[in-house]
Chains A and B, each alone.
Chain A
Amino acid sequence: MNTKTSLNKKDIISILMMIFCLFMVKLFPEKDYFQKLIVSLTFLLAVPALYIKITLKEDLKDFGWRAGDWKRGITWIFLSLAGAFLILTLLYQYAGLAEKYYVPQNIIQNFGLFVFYEIVIAGFFLALYEFFFRGFIMFSFLKKWKAISIILQFSAFLLFLIITKDFNWGSVNYIIASFFSGVVVYKSRSLLYSYLFSLLFIIISDAVYINSLVN
């Protein structure tokens, strides 16, 4: 099997496109919540999708939009959940995460809001992150760099958080999810399982945190 690891012109254009999209999420002028939503949707989903379909003329299935190997996917969801919670436990134990992590005050007191926040708000942004970081970035380099692409998309996500000034303790479970989600994608070749993993992990970790606050 011939694997060429050097970058070609398409790769360079793709990388520039990735960087452009990341920065545009932050820099594109917006005035309100609606515009902010549109900006995120545009540069994390629409532009990469159009780029793949129009510019690269490739199928979205090659970028994780497929069912994949469901057995491996389910298996790695649980394995990744175990790994992610292990890291989370260590952070709670040794880094004092309980005092540093935070969630919106409203969802602590209202279960309905909690469900809405986790499914709709978090679910929406997780879907964007999955498509852009795991789908677009990781699958762009998966064939060429194999497992290293996991690190690449993880690094891109960290860069994204730094650019948007969200790199703080409140995003720690998203950061953990980002890495293990890459693992799930790598193993299952599908964004479906990585999205399920991320959603489960975020919901459970927030629920555990809120439970510790209430009790």
Chain B
Amino acid sequence: MFKKTLLFSIVAIEIFALTCSPFCARAWSPADFVDPITKGIHNSIFGGAGSSNGSLINGMLQQGEERYHMDQETMQEYGENMNVSWNKGSAPEVMVTFSPSDPKMGEKITATALPMYFSTPSESLYYTWYLKHERCNLSAGVGPPSQHTLDSCDRDGDKRITVEDWKIEAMRIIANGGFKTEKVGKYADIAIEDGDNDGYKAHMGGDSNIRPATNYHCYIHDFKNGKNYELLSCDHLFPEAPGYETGANDKSFPKFEEKFWHTNPEDPDTADNGNKDEANIAGLGVNKFTWSYNSGDKVGVIVEGESMVPTKHNDSSMMIMWALPKNDCEVKDENKASYTKEIKGYDVTIPTAAVDINGCLERNLVDPREGGQPKNLEIALSYSPENPVNDPTEDNMGDRVSVQSIVSNASQSANQLYYEWEVKISRNGEFSLDDNDWRDITDDDNFFSTGKSISLTKGINISSLDFDLNFDQDNLVNNNANYLKNGIGYLKICLNVEENFEQGETRSGNSDVIIRFISSDKKIVPHKTTINDDGKLVMGSSICQDNLMEKSICFVVKNEIIGVDIATSNLGNYSWTFNGEPLICDSSISDDCRDDEQTGTNFFPVAGNPGDTYTLTVTANDTSPDIDDANLGNTIHLIKNFQIVEPSVKIVSAGENFDPKILGSYQDLDGNSFTDYSESVFQSPENSAVQLTAEFFPNFIGAEENFNGDNPTTKVQWMLGDVEESRGKNFEIAVNRPIGSIYNIGLNAIYEQPLAIRKALRDIWGISQFESTENRMSNFVQMEVIESSAANQSALKGSQKALASLLSHFPEQAMFLLRILLTVLMIIFVSGAVLSISPRRQN
């Protein structure tokens, strides 16, 4: 600090010397000195004719420059800046902020004024707020406003709309402070009475300005040329009740004014902000203004206070100035003037201007919604799963992608917002920010079957989007398009949300999220397990591959050991979980596993109870520290579900002549008729051969290999009545009993794990041999022997039925005809008999 002060002192002296040198030289011209000695001294000090080395002062200055390393150009720049510094002073300004920044109609909004470059403390400034409603335009002199406009806008009752009405509208809200005027029985119309002593005397330039009135000098800053002009009149810009002056010397706020300003005549501080009522009208320290926002409202504020610029007058005054939000108050050239005043013995010119600041207020109105548009909705999107996998096969077992949206600044709840989702796919399988690189597939049936694999995409309350990644390979890669690159594609989920912001106005927001997906037909394949000579687990034949149901959920039996693998050539890292817990396989369990890392093979025991479900997951990628590896970013996350079931067996036909008995038929809601077949009663024609077989669930129990060997894992026993007939998987019956006879067929089966598997269960997973016992199953059906022709009857239908019925059931029809004939004969006989016993038959 000291060094800076010293530097500036030297600079000032130097400038003084440079400025003074020619002046002094002229003032003390050598011609004025007659005495040659004096003349010589003069020349030696200031320089002159005959001075070979320049003046003494110049020499001193040069020494000063050298001593203090002062550059001449720098010094000149300082001087040039000082020459124009008067035009670059900081005039008072005010900035207005709003909360909320995008108000809705009817919502409370607060405008806050942030004054700058005032020497008056903020709490002593006068803030005159003014509020203009959409309809309350200034009267243009073309005729009186409509009565409706006057009723809404003319606050002072002068039948015109002026800025005074805008001020009254705002300051009345401030002074009123939510006070309900109807609480006061009546306002006295006597003007002189100030019952609650809430008058206030305002000081020019702010409440803290206690200078005498003679020191009030009001100025306006011309922001175009940077000059300050003294105003010809120096008055407050406060709003006033008709016939009254706000902040006058009388310090009186009579009841008439209380009534006009809607303040409480019995409360000196109606607004409860620490100010007297009249001080609130003057806006003393009122830097905030809160009102109920209506569409089209604009607001402004005039801040009165002392600036930081001193006047040229010979007193302690600072310039009293007014700040406006947009600094838009032109000082026209024709209104500019000046006067000269002797100050300290000098004639000082003071520029003046005649400006009505009230005329500038309209141009300084601020729209709380700058730009007239509400802010955009802010939308955040998230999705799961993190690395979705597309299934390009017909299995349609790809991940279901769920995209969730959150609208953070909506004024309404999600069920009132309108959502419109789009799903786009990268045209070249690459990430891109160019929208032209994306193709909209939302309504493309090749990707999404309508109403099936994608949820609703438009409408209110659609805050999330779900769709299945089951894009066929033919649609992803064909002659016209290639949406994949190295098996990886990108989806762009776009969301547009709109809400009714207020009547006739909506606001919207857009967002998108790009999802990287892997298209892979790789799946976790379950296998039966066998044991090798070393007692280690070996992958056996695959299971659960026969139909889509089994592929989506694999049914297994208790005490199985299930092997799983994932056949991939381009992945190297694997992480297996089993019901959320890590599933570890090492070389002690199987030669397909490793001790240092997981491989694409794993094993787990089925140790639960029927009904339990298992979820097996594997995550794999191609990340490798080896620089020779491509590291293409291939990642896959696969899930396989298992359910433990109670095994069962069923007797089914392996050939012909074993048809389920028809119990009737039923109709669905569309009127389609279906035949209802019995599951336990079958019919076979007489003198036929019936081939039966055992059908197991899960079907891998019935695999042929399970019946082979010395110790087959699956054993069956066919029974006819109580007699055992066969022990093979298949069974043939010669139907030689008479029509109407019944065969009671029984099938008992046992499914048990080989001893080696049971040992592995015990040794690896600690499952006791008492828990890994066999499963027993059985099934019983009845076979009814029928006539051979009846079996074909069901093939006939429609109009042939009557004839077919007659032909195929001739004995039955004959019986019917006989019955009806007998009935006819009987009734004729009875009627005849009754009539014949009549004593007198009447014709």
Where the two chains meet, the residues of A that have a C-beta atom closer than 8 Å to any C-beta of B are 8-10, 13, 16-17, 20, 24, 28-35, 37-39, 42, 46-47, 50-51, 54-56, 58
Contacts and interface: CB of A to CB of B under 8 A. Distances in A.
Contact of B801 (A24, A33, A38): A33
A55 B832 contact: yes
Contacts of B817: 38
Contacts of A42: 820, 823-824
B806 interface: yes
Interface string B777-804: 0000000000000000000000001110
Interface of B: 801-803, 805-806, 812-813, 816-817, 819-820, 823-824, 827-828, 831-832, 834-835, 838, 841-843
B835 A51 contact: no
15 contacts: A10-B841, A10-B843, A16-B831, A17-B827, A17-B831, A20-B827, A32-B801, A33-B802, A42-B824, A47-B828, A51-B828, A51-B831, A54-B828, A55-B832, A55-B835
Contact of B802 (A24, A37, A58): A37
B842 A8 contact: yes
B443 to A, nearest CB: 36
A143 to B, nearest CB: 11
A3 B835 CA distance: 22
A124 to B, nearest CB: 13
A9 B835 contact: yes
A32 B831 contact: no
A51 B829 CA distance: 9
B824 A32 contact: no
A46 B835 contact: no
Contacts of B816: 30-31, 35, 38
B827 A13 contact: no
Main secondary structure of the interface of A (DSSP, over half): helix
A3 to B, nearest CB: 14
Given A20-B827, A28-B820, A9 B802 contact: no
A35 B809 CA distance: 11
Contacts of A31: 805, 812, 816
Nearest to A21: B827
Most A C-beta atoms less than 10 A away, residue of B801, B817, B820: B820
Contacts of B801: 32-33
Contacts of A46: 824
B429 to A, nearest CB: 53
B806 A34 contact: yes
B823 A50 contact: no
Given A17-B831, A38-B816, A51-B828, A28 B842 contact: no
Contacts of A28: 820, 823
Most B C-beta atoms less than 10 A away, residue of A13, A28, A34, A51: A34
A136 B816 CA distance: 26
B831 to A, nearest CB: 5
Contacts of A50: 824, 828
A56 B834 CA distance: 11
Contacts of B828: 47, 50-51, 54-55
Contacts of B823: 24, 28, 42
B842 A9 contact: yes
B802 A34 contact: yes
Given A30-B816, A35-B816, A47 B827 contact: yes
Contacts of B831: 13, 16-17, 51, 55
Given A10-B835, A55-B831, A33 B842 contact: no
Given A17-B827, A46-B824, A32 B835 contact: no
A17 B826 CA distance: 12
Given A37-B802, A47-B827, A54-B832, A10 B820 contact: no
Given A13-B835, A29-B819, A31-B805, 6 more contacts: A9-B835, A9-B842, A33-B805, A35-B813, A54-B832, A58-B843
B535 to A, nearest CB: 68
A45 B167 CA distance: 106
A102 to B, nearest CB: 14
A33 B816 CA distance: 13
Contacts of B834: 9, 13
Closest 10 CB pairs of A and B: A33-B802, A32-B805, A34-B802, A55-B832, A55-B831, A34-B806, A8-B842, A50-B828, A9-B838, A35-B816
B56 to A, nearest CB: 127
Nearest to B820: A42
A55 B828 CA distance: 7
B294 to A, nearest CB: 56
Contacts of A37: 802
A58 B843 CA distance: 9
A110 B816 CA distance: 35
Contacts of B827: 17, 20, 47, 51
Nearest to A4: B842
Contacts of A24: 823
A41 to B, nearest CB: 9
A23 B834 CA distance: 20
A39 B820 contact: yes
Contacts of A20: 827
Nearest to B799: A33
A54 B830 CA distance: 12
A37 B820 CA distance: 12
A38 B835 contact: no
Contacts of B838: 9
A170 to B, nearest CB: 17
Nearest to B832: A55
Nearest to B803: A34
A51 B835 CA distance: 11
